Amino acid sequence: MPEGLSPGEADKDVSAPAPSGRRSEARGADRVLTILEALLLAVVPLLAAWSGFASAKWSTHSSFDMARAGTVRTEANRAFYEAADLKNFDGLAFNAWLTAYVSGNTDAMRVAELRFRPEFLVAFKAWMATQPFTSPNAPKEPTYMTEYAQPDLVQAHHLDASADRYYSLGLEAGNNANGYVRITVYLASVLFLMGISGHFPVRAARKGLIALGAIVLVVSGVLLILAPRPPV
């Protein structure tokens, strides 16, 4: 009769515990993985908190700059309208003077000149010096003279440029805020990877998830270092 193990003996041999050295090695490897997961879980919230804070600061800064841009733009439009109204007034006053001049009404000419604004009067005298009624090279009217000054128009252009600058700053601040939001999403993915890694009984899978989480964490840290500092 051939020698062999009985069914009971075979079952005991299969269910026999692994040697104590192998069990200690397995527990040691699991302990190292658990420590690595804990380290990642400890670092990620700190970086995520800083990233969220920076995003909020940049977002607030962007809102302020956009609000300033809108306010200054409104002031620029108001200055443009005032400059246009004054130029229309100067044109009407000049047309009244020109009508009186053509009809030879000196009293009406004098009255029209009294209505000239100081800025227009300077340009008018310079225009008259060009002999506009005899010289073909004379400007069409005083508003075409370089002496014709429009302070409101100059202010309007200045305000318009300021509004463009505030808008650019607000747009840049908004992009910075979005950059920090993306970094926060990357850090959240690390938390997700570490959260599911402990549920995998296969040690290789845990190692892979931890390695992937560490890579994402390093990339996020580099992005945080390169990102512009939030405004004070």
Q: If we measure between CA atoms, which residue out of 121, 78, 79, 113 comes closest to residue 96?
A: 113
Query: Is 22 part of a structural domain of the chain?
Result: no
Task: Check pLDDT > 50 for residue 18.
Answer: no
Query: Is 7 part of a structural domain of the chain?
Result: no
Residue 17 is given by DSSP the state P
What pTM was estimated for this model as a whole?
A: 0.70
Q: What average pLDDT does this structure show over 5-10?
A: 50
Q: DSSP readout, 99-128?
A: HHHHHT-HHHHHHHHHTS-HHHHHHHHHHH
Query: Is 75 part of a structural domain of the chain?
Result: yes
Query: Is 25 part of a structural domain of the chain?
Result: no
Range 144-170 burial, b when 16+ CB lie within 10 A, else e: ebeebebebbebbeebbebbeebbebb
Query: Is 9 part of a structural domain of the chain?
Result: no
Query: Is 61 part of a structural domain of the chain?
Result: yes
Query: Is 183 part of a structural domain of the chain?
Result: yes
Using an 8 Å Cβ cutoff, are 79 and 156 in contact?
Answer: yes
**Residue 195 confidence class, pLDDT cut points 50, 70, 90:** confident
Q: How many domains are there within the chain?
A: 1
pLDDT the model gives residue 41: 83
Range of the structural domain that residue 123 is part of: 43-226
pLDDT the model gives residue 23: 55
Helix (H) or strand (E) holding 199: none
pLDDT digits (tens, 9 = 90+) for 43-73: 899 999 999 999 999 999 999 999 999 999 9
% the chain with pLDDT above 90? 64
Q: If we measure between CA atoms, which residue out of 224, 217, 219 comes closest to residue 43?
A: 217
Query: Is 33 part of a structural domain of the chain?
Result: no
pLDDT the model gives residue 142: 94
pLDDT digits (tens, 9 = 90+) for 68-101: 999 999 999 999 999 999 999 999 999 999 999 9
pLDDT the model gives residue 20: 52
Q: What average pLDDT does this structure show over 135-149?
A: 91
More confident residue, 10 or 183: 183
- End-to-end Cα, the chain, rounded Å: 91
pLDDT the model gives residue 21: 53
Range 106-143 burial, b when 16+ CB lie within 10 A, else e: eeebeebbeebeebbbbbbeebeeeeeeeeeebbebbb
pLDDT the model gives residue 14: 44
